[in-house]
Amino acid sequence: MNFFNLPNFISLARLLSVPVLINLILSHEMVASFWVFLAASLSDALDGYLARKLKIRTEIGSFLDPIADKALLISVYLALGIIGHISTWLVTLVIFRDILIVGGTILLFIFQKPVLMNPIMTSKINTLFQILFISFLLGGEAFGIFSSLNPFLRFFEYLVGLTTLLSGTFYVKLWLERINLPS
């Protein structure tokens, strides 16, 4: 198993950017927060693309990438919630959904059912909306384009909430189907 390849290095770098980003957000360094978040978000697309294009997918990469994604998004939502830029209900929903996903994966493992690390389409859409929402929010705050109270951001916040609910619901349905599969 080859852990040290470029896509895995990029995922690891994204994971290591999380404490830096949290500190920047909590210190209200919005310009730097925006650029670090943008780089981390783009690295998510880049590592997957390179793994497919170069045909160097690894088992560790299939776990490291979603761990880095979850750590990044949960941390950013929590930090922005703490400083009052995201509603508490959305922070709670985003964190709960990711805990639900991890919990469901553990349950499948316990019941010795197939654990596939491929996200469902609803989850990919949700992740895209979560990333875009944070990018617009941080960019708006960093460059004075608009504040977190802007109606566009409020609409986007509800859109993220809706896709988060849908994604979580589809994962629960999928797990129930897998748990009920004969061994």
Q: In CATH, what number is assigned to the domain containing residue 84?
A: 1.20.120.1760
Q: 134 and 80 in contact (C-beta within 8 Å)?
A: yes
Domain that holds residue 156: 6-179
Quick one: residue 144, left, alpha or beta (phi over 0 = left, psi -120 to 50 = alpha)? left
The mean pLDDT value of the chain amounts to 89
Please indicate, yes or no, if residue 1 is contained in any of the structural domains: no
Q: Is residue 152 part of a domain?
A: yes
Quick check: 127 and 74 in contact, CB under 8 A?
no
Angle, helices 151-179 vs 88-110, to 10°: value is 20
In a domain, 116, yes or no: yes
**Inside any domain, residue 38:** yes
Domain assignment present for 110: yes
Domains contained in the chain, number: 1
Total-model pTM: 0.89
Q: Does residue 81 sit within a domain?
A: yes
Grade residue 95 by pLDDT with cuts at 50, 70 and 90.
Answer: very high
Compute the distance between CA of residue 1 and CA of residue 168 in angstroms, rounded to an integer.
Answer: 32
Q: Give per-residue pLDDT as tens, 26-73.
A: 999 999 999 999 999 999 889 888 888 888 888 888 888 889 999 999
Q: Tell me phi and psi for residue 51, to 5 degrees.
A: -60, -40
Q: Which of the pair, 3 or 107, is modelled with greater confidence?
A: 107
